[in-house]
């Protein structure tokens, strides 16, 4: 076992990990941050997306030991300081961008990364960016609407599929 330290959602954390411990496991089991979901363990579904040093990362493929000193942000860190939903989270709620909710944390984290790099994406750009995230419930339409609404764009013209 080796101790690893990092900052998660602005708070210094540390824990003993094996060399094979994934970031998703470190967060969920070691830090009790269960908002990061693990759907596939193969980097296919995107449910485990978090931000590492400002970049979207699938935490089921990142080793915790490799992230010594890193800044990590999880879905728990997306809320406003007063605990209310952040802009993207609120847009997902307002535009029904979730059903079962399993993929939602990864979708929100991916959306935040997209909007950081492209503050006003087109519908097509949103759809292309989400290719690494799987949702089995929604058909993506309302997820795309939610992301575009979070960017401040009018979503009334987005046609239902």
What confidence tens digit (pLDDT) does each residue in 15-29 have? Answer: 999 999 999 999 999
pLDDT band at 160 (very low <50, low <70, confident <90, very high): low
User: Which residues lie below 8 Å from residue 111, measured CB to CB, with a gap of 6+?
Assistant: 88, 146, 147, 150
- If you average pLDDT over residues 53-70, what whole number do you get? 97
What's the pLDDT tens digit per position in 78-114? 999 999 999 999 999 999 998 899 999 999 999 999 9
55-58 sheet: strands from edge to edge: 11-17, 2-8, 71-73, 49-52, 55-58
Strand duo 49-52 + 11-17: pairing: unpaired
Strands 55-58 and 49-52: antiparallel
CATH number for the segment(s) 87-153: 1.10.150.120
Is 46 in contact with 59 (CB distance < 8 Å)?
no
Residue 42 has pLDDT above 60, yes or no: yes
Query: Residue 147: what pLDDT?
Result: 97
Give the C-alpha distances (Å, rounded to integers) separating 77 from 18, 122, 126, 137, 139.
Answer: 26, 26, 22, 25, 26
CA distance 23 to 16: 12
Mean per-residue pLDDT, 50-54: 98
Every domain of the chain and the residues it spans:
2-77, 87-153
pLDDT band of residue 159 (cuts 50, 70, 90) is: low
Q: Architecture of 2-77 per CATH? A: Roll (3.10)
What gap in Å lies between CA 13 and CA 34, rounded to an integer?
Answer: 15
As a dihedral over the C-alpha atoms of residue 74, residue 76, residue 82, residue 88, rounded to 10 degrees, the angle is 70
Cα–Cα distance, 70 to 4 (Å, whole number): 10
């Amino acid at each position: 076992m080796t101790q690893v330290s990092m900052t998660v959602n602005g708070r210094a954390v540390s824990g003993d990990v094996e060399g094979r411990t994934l970031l998703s496991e470190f967060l969920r089991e070691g830090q009790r941050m269960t908002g990061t979901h693990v759907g596939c363990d193969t980097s296919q579904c995107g449910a485990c997306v978090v931000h590492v040093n400002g970049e979207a990362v699938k935490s089921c493929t990142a080793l915790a030991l490799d992230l010594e000193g890193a800044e990590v942000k999880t879905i728990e860190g997306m809320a406003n300081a007063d605990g209310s939903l952040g802009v993207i989270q609120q847009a997902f709620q307002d535009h029904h961008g979730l059903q079962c909710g399993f993929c939602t944390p990864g979708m929100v984290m991916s959306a935040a990364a997209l909007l950081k790099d492209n503050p006003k994406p087109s519908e097509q750009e949103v759809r292309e960016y989400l290719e690494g995230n799987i949702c089995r419930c929604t058909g993506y339409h309302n997820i795309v609407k939610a992301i575009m609404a979070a960017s401040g764009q009018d979503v009334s013209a987005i046609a239902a599929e």
